Amino acid sequence: MGRRNTRAAKSNVPANVRAHWLVLLATLMALGLALAVQGYLHHLGGVGKDSVPADPSAGSVPHAVSHGGPVVDSRGGTVQAVSPPDRTVALTFDDGPDPEWTPRILDVLREHHVHATFFVVGSAAVDHPDLLRRMVAEGHEIGVHTLTHADLGRAPEWRRDLEVQGGQDAIVGVTGQAASLLRPPYTSGNEALTNGMWSALHGIADEGYLTVLSSMDSKDWQTPGVGAIERNLTPSGPQGQVVLMHDGGGDRAQTVAALDTALSRFSDQGYRVTTVGDAVGVDSMRPASGIEQIRGSAFVWGIRLSDFVVTAISWGLVAAGVVTFVRAILVMFFAARHSRAARRLPGTGRARRRADVMVGPAVTGPATVIVPAYNESAGIEAAVRSIVASSHPVEVIVVDDGSTDGTADIVEALGLPGVTVIRKENGGKPSALNAGIRAASHDLVVMVDGDTVFEPDTVRALIQPFADPRVGAISGNTKVANRGGILGAWQHIEYVVGFNLDRRLFDVAECMPTVPGAIGAFRLGALIRVGGVSDDTLAEDTDLTMALCRDGWRVVYQEDARAWTEAPATLGALWRQRYRWCYGTLQAMWKHRGAVVQGGAAGKLGRRGLGYLLVLQVLLPLFAPVVDVFALYGLIFLDPLRIAALWLVFLAVQLLMAAYAFRLDRERFGPLWTLPLQQFVYRQLMYLVVIQAVVTAVAGVHLRWHRMERYGSLRVPQAHKQA
């Protein structure tokens, strides 16, 4: 029912609160950017075997390059290719830095008092900045080996620029110095240059880079054995050489061993081992300018931030997955325990009997059924007729809360025995319920919404747990009446799985947070003790239930007391309903937060019930958009089959839990075919509702009632059809 008139039905949420959608969009875009950076750095590139890609085309490579020295300068339109002087070895290492092998190679170089040139991969440099700083401190030279070890000869122009500039920014951001030497991945000697690679190198030269190839390849990337690497490093004459070795990209134990021997032999044979820049007489590194340092630092910290974000998300996903699976196990375990505890008692249908709930004689005393109604003309007749048809003695009090559609007139015109109509000015649902409570003639009170109908045995089944004097309130089993169509099927699944399985768990754990407004029974004395129904929150049913728990009453769940209610038939109506529910629940959780530190029944509600709601209904939905963005990341950058397999496992768990819930509720399994589709529309709507509600609550905005549209689809039910 509505709790405000039509004018009050409009939300007073200011525009600055709605701005949180822009914040959410910006956050997701930033997250997407972080994931894109991570995916690019670690999954679109990567160090692999350094074999030169097969491409025989080399017609456009100048003769001076293909038959010249390994250091190529094509800046300014002229092309020169030079070699180190005789008996000079320019020692170079590719694919590092590596946390295991680079330090060992640096140790060998220090023992032999020689310097080398390290062509570093930008992503590895960011991951291991201390190694770059050690290289510079020990007098070594650093060159660019791209950002992700990409094949520049096959890459489009935009990626070439990104790879080279990214590699340079990484070096500047870590060392404060800019490099002028470049070695493209997957290159060896001059004669192996292809048209595509030369085109790339010629374009890069205009940015001030010298290309360094090799004239002596150790082929250590093939891990042929220490002896083979040593033979590959044996000079055939006095000519100067640029030697290619690797300090990263795999197991370099053979490289370390062969390097030690080769350096000793070079020294014995009178060769000078040095850096490329020193060998050809160029200043290969310079202090970076202020702008370069700012850009480099921003680049490095941006990558580190993206790494941190992805790592945090990964752990968050693990935690979310664990929570999801634990929740599935818990709810099914406790639901099974709850179901086993229910036994058939003479003349009462199924009623619960558990060790912690005393069951005496069947409860046969009459009950007062309160129906708060505001503009319920579409369904009020079906609701009242179904209650009057109860197999248990009842009085029915319909409280018309200022309706303008003739709701009270419809009820009075029915002329049904035992039905009283109270007319009052519009004051809201709590006000209407309290008016009904004051007029109640019996000690047992049943509250039912005006858009809900009962089965003939609903009231009788619902009140049986009152045989235990400790029970102060009882939740019934709410069923979706208009479950046709895919939206109706989704809500039907949610009611059976998300609501009723949880209520079984809450019952066994003695921490029931909500007796739904659609169907709930209360002791009149318990209601009076807590001051009736409060209007402090929009979820008056949750607020009332928590107040009863904190007052020491047991609140239980009666699965066979079924009530049929209308569910929203449009996404907009569903949004408004769930927005109010979620916002009101947050209000109630905050209002009763003190239960967390209390003992007894209040402590069980606080530490079990509120904790469960916080994790499952607030934190997980807030994290859900990140899960979706990460799933897209996985499909693009990771193994799509593995991502699909994980999704199927998650879906299988959902289906298993849903099938079990349907079996317990004796529902047909047919609607479960819509469950996979629920993950792509309904789930997103629900977590967006939570985000909206949380932001509204944090902003301190008072949300007014959003009245749900009525469709007049309710009918007085017959017996419940079993699956």
Does the pLDDT at position 147 exceed 70?
yes
* CB of 202 closer than 8 Å to CB of 80: no
Q: If you search the block for the tokens 């959410």, which residue do you land on?
A: 24
Least confident of 51-55, 267-271, 479-483: 51-55
Residue 634's pLDDT is what?
83
Is the domain 321-698 a CATH 3.90.550.10 member? yes
Average pLDDT over residues 580-602: 93
Measured CA to CA, the distance from residue 621 to residue 578 in angstroms comes to 13
DSSP, residue by residue, 385-401? HHHHT-SS-EEEEEEEE
Sign of CA dihedral 348, 352, 354, 359: negative
Q: Which residues share a beta bridge with 465?
A: none
Measured CA to CA, the distance from residue 615 to residue 611 in angstroms comes to 6
Half-sphere exposure of 108 toward its Cβ, with a 13 Å CA cutoff? 19
- Please give the angle made by the CA atoms of 11, 16 and 20, to the nearest 5 degrees: 95
Measured CA to CA, the distance from residue 28 to residue 622 in angstroms comes to 12
Residue 323's SS3 state is helix
CA 567 to chain centre: 28
**CB neighbours (10 Å) of residue 367?**
27
**CB neighbours (10 Å) of residue 516?**
23
Is the domain 63-288 a CATH 3.40.50.2000 member? no
- The long-range contacts involving 253-257, CB below 8 angstroms and separated by at least 24 positions, are 253/101, 254/220, 254/223, 254/224, 254/225, 254/226, 254/229, 255/101, 255/105, 255/218, 255/220, 255/229, 256/101, 256/104, 256/105, 256/108, 257/226
What stretches of 68-111 show up as alpha helix (H) in DSSP?
Answer: 101-111
* CB of 623 closer than 8 Å to CB of 316: yes
Residue 211: in which H helix or E strand, if any?
A: strand 210-212
Residues 74-131 pLDDT 10s:
887 788 899 999 999 999 999 999 999 999 999 999 999 999 999 999 999 999 999 9
Domain boundaries, the chain: 63-288, 321-698
Residue 182's SS3 state is strand
Residues 346-380 pLDDT 10s:
333 444 444 455 556 899 999 999 999 999 998 89
Model pTM?
0.76
Residues marked active site are found at 94, 246
Burial of 56 (0-12, 13-18, 19+ CB in 10 A): exposed
Residue 93: in which H helix or E strand, if any?
A: strand 88-96
Residue 343's pLDDT is what?
46
Least confident of 199-213, 292-306, 535-549, 652-666: 199-213
Residue 192's pLDDT is what?
79
Q: Among candidates 380, 460, 448, which has minimal Cα distance to 416?
A: 380
Q: If you search the block for the tokens 């699956």, which residue do you land on?
A: 723
Percentage of the chain exceeding pLDDT 90: 62
Residue 165's SS3 state is helix
* CB of 586 closer than 8 Å to CB of 619: no
Q: Which residues share a beta bridge with 285?
A: 179
φ, ψ (nearest 5 deg) of residue 162: -65, -40
- List all residues 6 or more positions away from 96 whose beta carbon is below 8 Å from its beta carbon: 102, 118, 120, 121, 124, 131, 246, 247, 248, 249
The greatest distance separating any two alpha carbons of the chain, rounded to the nearest whole angstrom, comes to 118
Measured CA to CA, the distance from residue 457 to residue 654 in angstroms comes to 32
Measured CA to CA, the distance from residue 619 to residue 616 in angstroms comes to 6
Report the DSSP pairing between strands 452-454 and 117-120.
Answer: unpaired
Q: If you search the block for the tokens 């406790």, which residue do you land on?
A: 334
140-175 residues labelled b (16+ CB within 10 A) or e (exposed): bbbbbbbbbbbbbbebeeebbebbbbbbbbbbbbbb
pLDDT level of residue 49 (50, 70, 90 thresholds): low
> For the packed helices 640-664 and 620-637, what is the interaxial angle rounded to 10 degrees?
140
